Amino acid sequence: MKPILLKGHERSITVVKFNFDGDLIFTGSKDHIPSVWRSETGERVGTFNGHKGTIWDIDVDRFSKRVLTASADAFVKLWDCETGECLKSFTHHGPARGAAWADGAEMFATISDPFVEHNAQISIYDVPINEDPSDYSEIPRLEIELPKIDGKRVNATNIVWLNLNEALFVTFDNGSIRLYDPTTGEELDEFYPHEKKINRVSFNQDKTLFITSSADFTSKLYDVVDLRHLKTYKTGSPVNDAVISETKDHILLGGGQEAMSVTTTSGKAGKFETRFFHLVYEEEFGTVKGHFGPINALAIDPKGRCYASGAEDGYIRLHHFDKSYLDMKDPVPEGPVDGEEDETDDEEKDEQDSDEESE
C-alpha cells in the first residue's frame, strides 16, 4: 500500500475530508489556504484563497457545489466549489471552530470560540440555493450562547446536523456532547462520553453511528438514535481523529503524542501511525506508519477504496487499499446462506449414521 504524498501545505494539517462521491479530497491547515485534490491521482485541483488564519474546519455540500471553511480569523466563508470564488463571508465574534451543512444545503451552522467579553456561540445561517449570494444575510437566523460553567469557559470542538435536521450535535472540550433544537436553540440532551477533550467526531454516511476521538486515549462508538454506547477502542496516546469504514467492519484511528513533545520523541515511540481496529471485536489488527508527527486528521473514501491522513508534519498521505485488503474476509463465524444447509449439521448426521451402522 504505497502512499501518494500530497505536498501543498506549508504547515500542520488540521482537517481532511472526502466529498460525498469520494472523488475529491478537501484539506485545511495552519497555512490559511484550503485545498482540493483528486482522490484517484493525488493531483491538486485548486485552492480557496482569502483567509488570514488557521483553517479549523471544512464542509462540502452533497453535490460538491458549495464549500464552507471555518477559520481562526473569525470568518466562515462560502465558496463556489468549481471556480474557487468566495461567494460570501460571515463574521463571528471569535475564532470560527467548525461549520456544517444542513441536509438540503439551504442553511448551515457554525461554532465559534469565546473572545474577550463574548461567549462561545453556535450560529445558524440561511443560504438558499436559488438566491443570489450577495442577498444572504450576514446576521445569523439563530444564535445560541454557550456560557461559562462554574466560571470556566467551555469551547465547542465539532458541530454536525443529525438526519432530517432534527437536532444540532455539538462536542465540547470538557468531554461532553450536547444536542440542540435548531429552531428554538433549546438544549435537548447532554451526556459525557469522555473525561477529557473530544478532539473530533465522525459519522458513517447514513448517520446511524458516530465515533468520538478524545485526549483521554480512547475512541468510542455510539448509536445515534438512542445515544447508546456500543464499543470502546483504547490506545496508548491521545486520539485526534477516527473514522468508520463504509465497506468493512473496521475503524481507523489516528493520533499520537502531543505536538509540543514531538521533538523529544522518536517516530516509533510517539505512535504517529494510523491504527486499524475491528469494529465489533475492538481488536487492533494493523498499523500504517509514515508520518513524522501526530496525525491530526483522517478521512476514508465513502466507497472504501482509499483513505487519507494529515499530520503535524504538513503532509497528507493518500493510501489506496491493496487488493489483499479489499478482498480480506474478517474472521467472523458465518451462518448458512438461505437455501444452504449448515455443514456442521451434515457432519453430525453422518456421524450418527455411522454410529447406527456399527451397532
Tell me, what DSSP letter sits at residue 102? P
What lies within 8 Å, CB to CB, of 10 at 6+ separation is 29, 31, 314
Compute φ and ψ for 127, nearest 5 degrees.
Answer: -140, 70
- Does residue 350 have a pLDDT over 60? no
- pTM (predicted TM-score): 0.88
Kindly tell me if the per-residue pLDDT of 252 is higher than 90: yes
DSSP letter for 152, please.
Answer: B
Cell 484550503: give the residue: 34
pLDDT in tens, 113-171: 999 889 999 999 999 999 999 999 999 999 999 988 887 888 999 999 999 999 999 99
- Mean pLDDT for all residues in the chain: 90
Could you list the beta-strand ranges (E) of 215-265. 218-223, 229-234, 239-244, 250-255
Which pLDDT score is estimated for 179?
97
pLDDT at 344: 47
Q: Which helix (H) or strand (E) holds 355?
A: helix 343-358
Q: Which of 69, 49, 58, 45 is nearest to 15 (CA)?
A: 58
32 backbone φψ class: left, alpha, beta (φ>0; ψ -120 to 50):
left
